[in-house]
Amino acid sequence: MEINPSSYSFIAKTKEVEIKTLQIVKLSAFEKDDGETILLNVERRIKELISGLAKRDINALTRIGLDIEEDEIKHLPTSITGIMVYYFIQGIAKDYNIEFDKKPKSIKTTIKGMSNIKTRKRFITKEQKNDLLEKTKMSHYDKKLTAGLITLPEVLEEIKKAYEEKKHYESIGLILPENKTEYPQYIGVDYKTPDKEKSPEQIIDEEEIISQINEKIIELASSGLITLTKQERKTR
């Protein structure tokens, strides 16, 4: 069969691929990088899929209509954040030829435990928790009352507001210990068992609990029921 030479030109053009210059983003731009928190509101099925992949939960994936073998996903990260970052990295590499100078911590497939669960980032810090609890006490306003800088009705209104905010936090699953040295705690998270003794499944479940409660904090703030400080907003 004889092929017209012009056909070669056409085939070459249709197979021409644009090669983009590799661009590197440095994760090591800062000497210390504790990470930032990003909360996403997604459809339930998307969350079920991400969670199923992270947990290697074939039954969960089957329930949403997927036929996936465990061997096909054993290379994936074992956290919800890891799954999101893993496919984000693949996407920007494919579309823009962008890569990072080193592997992000979140996409590691082996979990040794959460990074110090007692001190990991929260939307309400230990200091902010203590400040809120102090505002529920009359003694907090004694000096201002004595100096005439605030009236008793104003004090009672401030105490009421602080109690309401405290109740909002507690209603979504936060514990605010009275002990000033203790951090806010998430109901459903085991703070007694050392991180290294927790299974990957337990760690994933606890990360999801924390993520869900943090989402509810954002919802409360959006509704004007609580006020997030600049420091709290920065962790989003």
Question: Tens of pLDDT along the chain (236 residues)?
Answer: 454 544 444 444 444 445 567 787 777 655 455 566 676 788 889 988 998 898 888 888 999 999 988 888 888 888 888 888 889 988 988 888 888 887 787 776 544 333 444 444 567 888 999 999 999 999 999 999 999 999 999 999 999 999 999 999 999 999 999 999 999 999 999 988 887 788 777 877 887 888 788 888 888 888 888 877 654 444 43
Report the number of secondary-structure helices (H) and strands (E) in the chain: 10, 4
Q: Which amino acid is at 47?
A: K
64 CB-side CA count, 13 A:
16
Q: Which residues pair with 97 in a beta bridge?
A: none
Q: Which helix (H) or strand (E) holds 55?
A: helix 44-55
Q: Which helix (H) or strand (E) holds 145?
A: helix 142-146
Count of C-beta atoms within a 10 Å radius of residue 184: 19
Strands 98-100 and 174-175: unpaired
With 0-12 CB in 10 A as exposed, 13-18 as middle and 19+ as buried, what is 186?
buried
Question: Can you give the pLDDT at residue 34?
Answer: 59
Distance of alpha carbon 60 from alpha carbon 231, whole angstroms: 37
Q: Residue ranges of the domains in the chain? A: 19-107, 126-234
Question: Can you give the pLDDT at residue 33?
Answer: 58
